[in-house]
Structure 1
Amino acid sequence: MSVKANATPLPDRVKVRRALLSVSDKTGLADFAKGLAGLGVELISTGGTAKAIAALGLAVRDVSDITGFPEIMDGRVKTLHPAVHGGLLGIRDDAAHAAAMQEHDITGIDLLVVNLYPFEETRASGASPETIVENIDIGGPAMIRAGAKNHGYVTVVVDPADYAEVLETLKANGGETGIALRRQLAGRAYARTAAYDAAVAGWFAETLGESAPKRLSIAGELAESLRYGENPHQTAGFYRTGEARPGVATARQLQGKALSYNNINDTDAAFELVGEFDPARTAAVAIIKHANPCGVAEGPDLISAYHAALACDPVSAFGGIVALNRRLDAASAEEIVKVFTEVIIAPEAEEEAIAIISAKKNLRLLLTGGLPDPRAPGRFIKSVAGGLLVQSRDNGVVDDLELNVVTKRAPNETELADLRFAFRVAKHVKSNTIVYAKNGATVGIGAGQMSRVDSARIAARKAEDAAEAAGADTPATIGSVVASDAFFPFADGLLSAVEAGATAVIQPGGSMRDDEVIAAADAHGIAMVMTGMRHFRH
């Protein structure tokens, strides 16, 4: 099918004489409608929007007066009519279009104001499938796309946040809009319908159990334009997807300067880690630097957990992110602010703690209202050249795994508790990962090395440095346990842990040389358990 190209040049200024308003979100509608009426714009509307405008004492025509056809099928059919779409799509300066509009008594619509049925909100509320389907808007997206296509003549507004700009433009320009604004609003309109369709398609994929649908749509709403990305020469923006998961995207920032790209990335890593610890069972603190933990601990209260986490690597903690799994109290706040910290994130905070932190004007404090569920399903997306890698969130939890003792010696209860703790932390450390832990706290972390034995050695060296800084005679790895995010391909990594003083090991298993690694553990009297679950984090 061939499509006729429109050679008619687009006008710069277009007078807005007639506006069609049909909105689910009535925010700002009263002032906008009054402003339009004050400029002499004829108002046309539908259903509840028409009633809201009429209640303001303004003259408004129901869309059925324009179409000559009533709303039917519970409002499913009301704007899907040539009188509406012809008024939106007609090219005013095209002779054939103008003749068709005159022949069929179609008057142009110069301003379209539409926001869509609240599909995303309805889906997030846990409504029934029937209710969710009824909140899939049909007429709204159709009108938006029609008006945006014909932006040479039609101004399309899909967000109440744009009402003021449009009204100010009309007032300043004798009731006219310019092509630059209309083109910008058209782009926003298509972005909105694309995001809406992505939400609908995502819901269908979810209900059908399609982990890898044939076509994947991803949408986000700009939360903030960032000063730059990971480095100053990179541009960046922070987008919200609408996922209700507590975290940096949903948090309230009480104070401090704007978050950077790296702050957001690191804060997300910190809060996801601390979410592994049930606050009803124990207080927990995670200190993150460059998306890797440099100290994690649990304890009877936050201040105890913070001191233990800080002791793991006090040098790296400088300029880090501190995540808490409980309400931030004043005593803990007093200790945290003694070390230069970029961000503190917690579910809640006491007023006294907030006041203490407010003295550090650049320190960001984020409150989330809850913790992320480590077991909840989700999606992780990474871009590669020419494509996207998509996988489910790593929601494996060590407490749900059966630990298989593979050595002659089984771990005692203290070792077993620390093994679970260490494996919980290892899940959130860049691979290859080695985590030493003792008494519910990390004492050495080796992250992101190409060789697992190097990670073991680095973690031990960090423990030695921490012991020296604390004036201790021996590193805390003596008598510790060790976790590995993946199997030991050779016994050398295990032997490095033994050399550091570890007495028990937790690892997934699955190596061709598991027997060799187990034999090495038995030879040194080490207890070892295997989880059967790997936690690579690249």
Structure 2
Amino acid sequence: MPTELRRVERALLSVSDKSGLIDFARALNRLGIALVSTGGTAKAIAEAGLPVTDVSDLTGFPEMMDGRVKTLHPKVHGGLLAIRSHPEHQASMLGHGIAPIDLLVVNLYPFEATVAAGKPYDDCIENIDIGGPAMIRAAAKNHNDVAVVVEPADYAAVLSDLEAHKGATTLTLRRKLAQKAYARTGAYDAAISNWFANELGDTAPAYRALGGALAETMRYGENPHQWAAFYRTPDQRPGVATARQLQGKQLSYNNINDTDAAFECVSEFDPTISAACAIIKHANPCGVATGTTLGEAYARALACDPVSAFGGIIAFNRKLDGATAREIVKILTEVIIAPDADEEAIAVIAGKKNLRLLVTGGLSNPRASGLSLRTVSGGFLAQARDNAVVDDMELKVVTKRQPSEAELADLRFAFRVAKHVKSNAIVYVKDGATVGIGAGQMSRVDSSRIAAWKAGEAAKALGSTESLAKGSVVASDAFFPFADGLLAAAEAGATAVIQPGGSLRDDEVIKAADEAGLAMVFTGHRHFRH
């Protein structure tokens, strides 16, 4: 037998997730492997009619302190950590009656699920596993001799190895399992430490741990020469990470990034008030609109920039219907994401085999707290996600002219969209729909001019000679440092402006707005999105 093979004589099983447990235990028993187990796991195995030794019989100590102490014992950890080829280790095992444990199967107390369910503090504490991570780390360290399994998904691979090698595991498999084991305990501890930081209100703990579970390996990243993978975190806000893909080919790295941007944007709009649609290209909105129906909202969003919408991502805030789906499939679309879709819509979209359809079961809460992360050379930046909502802001009119009620509604709409446009951001809105968007420019005046040009192009596409910006309102994600950007908006036909304010030249900008007959409001909140 090659030296890298290690025969499994004894397995210790202690799991909170019992899916597949009995079939796995039965297969181990058929291979002649002795089973040792704890608590509820031992009971389940025994009830299935399989021979099993309770860990208390192995250690000579009963489970105590409500199960907090049961595997923290030399007869467990010695059995896991002993190097089989080390004479002194073998002597210690013989001298203290420690039997080797060759296979460890442990999954951890459901701490993440307990937190996600909103359980009380004490319940969360009780679901912090101690013995499990200790055993997992011990077995993983000694992977030259011991195989460690941390989730049911790996049962099949272990059985395949055992059956192929007459009850032995290969070093290749044991190393893979060890890596996964340390990653699992790392992600588990990250969830616990971040929960503690949140409970303490500590936004900048001395150490910030990150962890996630692999959702899928991607074909490539932002570009074909970059590898990529998609990971899910314990944050279960509805969105692209929690959505069910009903059809279409695999999502790409860019698809996921853009779809997330689309769904976060459309989630700003309350579905009980109006239907809403957001069309995204390269993580920027190219059209956002509301309507009495999804079909109306889609048509109005598309009219803002029909050229850029080609090959884009579409997000809705209500259940997708068949009539709207029939309109969408008239042009190339990469992804559709919505809270749900009816059978007719699903059937229509099925005719486009590459078009992905995702349903989330709900909208993302724009006011929810959470972390926003970005890597930099040698580290990463962490900040609170931008959960400021314009409806919660106290708008201050700073010009002589007050905005009308219709203008005020559009101003709020425009600022809501500007939050999701890359800086520098300028957004023109008219009657609950974007009519021109300028994104990602180094100069705010350039964003104003681009947005105005877009509004003119959109008008031409509709067969009109008058820019859609005529009679619109405009939002800026940050203050106007000079009056030139504001004047560019006035020249385009905007009648009212919403911006954070706070520039040293606010007085100059307000004066320019008054001279141009504009109404202007300050929000006191900036929405930079770099």
**Shorter-chain TM-score: what band?**
over 0.9
- Give secondary structure in 1 for the equivalent of 2:306: coil
1:308 and 1:314 map into 2 onto residues whose CA distance is: 10
1:79 and 1:374 map into 2 onto residues whose CA distance is: 44
Alignment of 1:15-414 (within 5 A): 15-414=7-406
Structure 1 ranges of 4+ moved more than 4 A:
none
Cα contact 1:11–1:153 (8 A) shared by 2 = no
Cα contact 1:382–1:390 (8 A) shared by 2 = yes
2:240 and 2:480 map into 1 onto residues whose CA distance is: 35
Match of 1:449 in 2: 441
1:81 and 1:14 map into 2 onto residues whose CA distance is: 24
**Alignment gaps of 5+ in structure 1:** 1-9
Alignment of 1:466-481 (within 5 A): 466-481=458-473
Cα contact 1:318–1:341 (8 A) shared by 2 = yes
Distance apart, 1:453 and its partner CA: 0.3
Distance apart, 1:299 and its partner CA: 1.1
Cα contact 1:296–1:425 (8 A) shared by 2 = yes
Distance apart, 1:465 and its partner CA: 1.0
1:128 and 1:510 map into 2 onto residues whose CA distance is: 42
**Counterpart AA for 1:289:** K
1:524 and 1:110 map into 2 onto residues whose CA distance is: 81
1:461 and 1:188 map into 2 onto residues whose CA distance is: 53
Cα contact 2:197–2:203 (8 A) shared by 1 = yes
Cα contact 1:11–1:152 (8 A) shared by 2 = no
Cα contact 2:140–2:147 (8 A) shared by 1 = yes
Distance apart, 1:11 and its partner CA: 3.8
Distance apart, 1:92 and its partner CA: 1.1
TM-score of the superposed pair, with normalisation by structure 2:
0.99
1:252 and 1:493 map into 2 onto residues whose CA distance is: 43
1:55 and 1:136 map into 2 onto residues whose CA distance is: 27
Distance apart, 1:289 and its partner CA: 0.2
Distance apart, 1:244 and its partner CA: 1.0
Distance apart, 1:126 and its partner CA: 0.8
- Give secondary structure in 2 for the equivalent of 1:303: helix
Cα contact 2:191–2:234 (8 A) shared by 1 = no
Distance apart, 1:28 and its partner CA: 0.6
Cα contact 2:80–2:101 (8 A) shared by 1 = yes
1:239-285 deviation per Cα after TM superposition (whole angstroms, max 9, x unaligned): 00021100000000000000000000000000000000000011100
2:495 and 2:73 map into 1 onto residues whose CA distance is: 76
TM-score of the superposed pair, with normalisation by structure 1:
0.98
Match of 2:456 in 1: 464
2:249 and 2:199 map into 1 onto residues whose CA distance is: 41
**Counterpart AA for 1:175:** G
**Counterpart AA for 2:352:** K
1:503 counterpart = 2:487? no
1:24 and 1:11 map into 2 onto residues whose CA distance is: 34
- Give secondary structure in 2 for the equivalent of 1:75: coil
> What's the C-alpha RMSD, in Å, of the aligned pairs?
0.8
